[in-house]
Structure 1
C-alpha cells in the first residue's frame, strides 16, 4: 500500500489530527499492580470520549480533546492476543556527550483545548475517576507561546504534515491491520539553559536550529560541516523517501523556579522513524557530530506509548475485567 492510499483503511482513530491548541496538559501515570487498579484504569479509558463530551460541551469552540497512549509493560499486563508490531519500551540513548534517559510510564493523557480551564477541569475529573488506581509520574501544563514558538525563540512544528499527509505519517495503516488507526508516541521533557542560550549570537542559533529566527525560513546546510537540528531530525529511508512525524510540542515553565522547557511529543506511523531521529540527534551524523541543541536542552524523561484506535480502547475494560476474574 502506498503512503498516499492510507485513507482507504477503515479505522476510528483518536483525535490525533486535532489542530495545535493554545493549552495542553501532558499527564503520565503508572497503574497499580492490583487487579482492581487495572479494572479502574481501563474503565476510565473506555469512558474518555464521554468525559470529553461532558466537559467540552461547556464551550464547543474550545475544541477539547484527549488522546491516551499505553506503554509496553501496561499493554502486556492486559494479556491481549496481539500487540502493535513496533511497541517497545523506550531505550536510553548514550551519545558521546549527551544521554536520552528512559523513565517509567504506563499511560499518557494528552489533553488539549483552546482554554486552559477546560484542560484543568478534564484532568481533575479524570484523576477523580482513576483514584488510587494510579500514581502520577509527571504532569506538565503547556501553553502556546506567541506565534507557536518555543522558549528558545524559534517557531516549532513548521514541518508537520498536513492534509492527507498527516494520517499517512502519523497513523498505522494496512502494514499492521489489527492496529490500523493507532499511533506510536514518544515523549521527552526538555529543560533549557536559557542563560547560556542567550549568550549565543543569533546567527549561530540559526545555524544550530536550521531556520532563521524571525521569519522561520529553512536554511540549506547540506554542505555545512555540522548538520543542524532540522537536518538531523529529517529521516530519509534507503529508497529516498522522507518520513514525517506529527509534533505537538508545547512550551512550559515556572520563571520563579528558573524552569523553562519544551515538552516534546511525537506521533508516528512507524516507531522506527522517531527512534532513528533520536539516534541521529544524540549519536550524531557522522557519529560524534551530535545535535548542538542538546548543549542547551536537557531531556529529563523518555517514554514510548501506543495510542490505539477507539474500538481497541473500548475493549480494554473488558480485557481488564477478564484479568480480574482470573482463570
Structure 2
C-alpha cells in the first residue's frame, strides 16, 4: 500500500498506532435523544485526553490509551451536514450459509493498557462521567493470550501493516482532507464453538486459517480448491494494489458460561476495504466458497464508527456543545 501524501496528514491522530496491549475493554453505547445527554457526551469527548492522563499517571509504564469512535447517527447529531465521506452504519451481510448482523452503536471506546486494573478504572470513571444518557449495549473485556494468539490457538494480527504502511492503511489521507488523520472502525464480537473446533484435525485447521499453528508460517493456497481465511481477508483492487487494515483483535471469554470469543476491531483508511474483506468471507470467492472459519465462529454484533483526530474530536465536541444547554 502506498504511503504517499502522508506529509500532509496530522500527526495527532488518536492512538490508533499504539502497540498491542495486554488488556483492553471495548465499550459500545447508544446516546439518548435529549439534549442534556448529548451535551454531557460532548463534554466527555472534549476532555478525553485529560481523563486518560488522570488515570494513566499512576503508572506511565501501563501505557493507558483510549480511542473514541462515533457512529453515523450520532455524528449527524453533532455535526449536521458534514461527515466523513464513507461513514455509514454497518451493512449486514447475507451469505448462503452465514450472515453478519448489524447492531446499534453511537459511541465506541477502545480502552487499552498493559494492566487490566487501569482499563477497569478508566472505564468506570468514563461511564460515570457520561451518565445515564448513555446506555452500554456491549461491553467486552479482552486479554492478550500467550504470544498474541486467539482462543483457537493461532497467532492473530500477523499481517498488520507497520512503519509507513500503518498510517497509509489505517488513517484517512488527502482524499478526504477535512477528515485526514481519522480512521474508520468496524467492530464485531465473535463467539467460537470450541468443541467443534477441537474435533477438526490440526492440518485442516491450518488449511482453514492459512497459517501453520505452531510456528505461524503462511501457507500458499493459491492452487487450493478452497481459499483460506488469510486469503479471503486479503483485498486487492482492480489495479492489483493490495489494501491492508489494522487489526487489534482481542480474545475474551467466561469458561463457566462456555463463552469463548474474539473481538474483531479493524481500523482502515477506506471503509470499503473492510466491507469488501467481510463480503469475501461471508459470500465467498467464488460465491459459495465462504470462509470456513465461520462454521465455528459466529458474529453477534456489527457496528461502524469513525475515530477522528484529537483536535477534530475536541472541535466537534466544542461546536456541538455551543449549540446545546450547559450541563451541570
Superposition TM-score tier, normalisation by shorter sequence: over 0.9
Asked if the contact 1:6–1:167 (Cα under 8 Å) also holds between the matched residues in 2, the reply is: no
Can you give the 5+ residue segments of structure 1 that lack an aligned partner in the other structure?
A: none
Partner of 1:71: 71
Equivalent residue runs for 1:21-60 within 5 Å: 21-60=21-60
Q: 1:301: Cα distance to partner?
A: 0.1
Structure 2: state its 5+ residue gaps: none
Alignment correspondent of 1:315: 315
Tell me the distance in 2 between the aligned counterparts of 1:317 and 1:152. Answer: 41
Q: Distance in 2 between matches of 1:56 and 1:322?
A: 29
**Superposition pairs of residues 73-92 of structure 1, within 5 angstroms:** 73-92=73-92
After TM superposition, give the deviation of residue 187 of structure 1 in Å.
Answer: 0.2
User: Deviation string for 1:108-161 (max 9, x for gaps)?
Assistant: 000000000000000011011001120000000000000000000000000000
1:81, distance to aligned residue in structure 2 (A)? 4.4
SS of alignment partner, residue 109 of structure 2: strand
Contact 1:80 1:319 survives alignment (8 Å)? no
* Alpha-carbon distance in structure 2 between the residues aligned to 1:156 and 1:283: 22
Cα distance in 2 between the residues matched to 1:84 and 1:240:
26
| Aligned length, in residue pairs | 325
Query: Which SS does the other structure have where 1:169 is aligned?
Result: helix
Answering whether residue 8 of structure 2 is matched by residue 9 of structure 1, we say yes
Partner of 1:166: 166
* SS in structure 1 at match of 2:175: coil
Is the 1:78–1:323 contact (alpha carbons within 8 Å) kept by the matching residues of 2?
A: no
What's 1:148 paired with? Answer: 148
- Aligned residue in 2 for 1:294: 294
Task: Measure, in 1, the Cα distance between the counterparts of 2:308 and 2:324.
Answer: 22
**What is the Cα deviation at residue 203 of structure 1?**
0.2
Counterparts of 1:160 and 1:68, CA distance in 2: 21
- 3-state SS of the aligned residue for 2:324? helix
Shift of 1:316: 2.5
Q: Are 2:183 and 2:308, in contact at CA under 8 Å, matched by a contact in 1?
A: yes
Moved more, 75-84 or 282-291: 75-84
Equivalent residues of 1:235, 1:242 under 8 A apart: yes
Partners of 2:43 and 2:321 within 8 A in 1: no
Q: Deviations over 1:246-265 (max 9, x none)?
A: 00000000000000000000
Give the aligned CA root-mean-square deviation in angstroms.
Answer: 1.2
**1:124 and 1:32 mapped to 2: Cα distance?**
19
Deviation at 1:208, TM superposition (A): 0.2
Answering whether residue 243 of structure 2 is matched by residue 243 of structure 1, we say yes
Contact 1:153 1:213 in 2 (8 A): yes
CA shift digits 1:257-288 (9 cap, x unpaired): 00000000000000000000000000000000
CA distance in 1, matches of 2:65, 2:81: 29
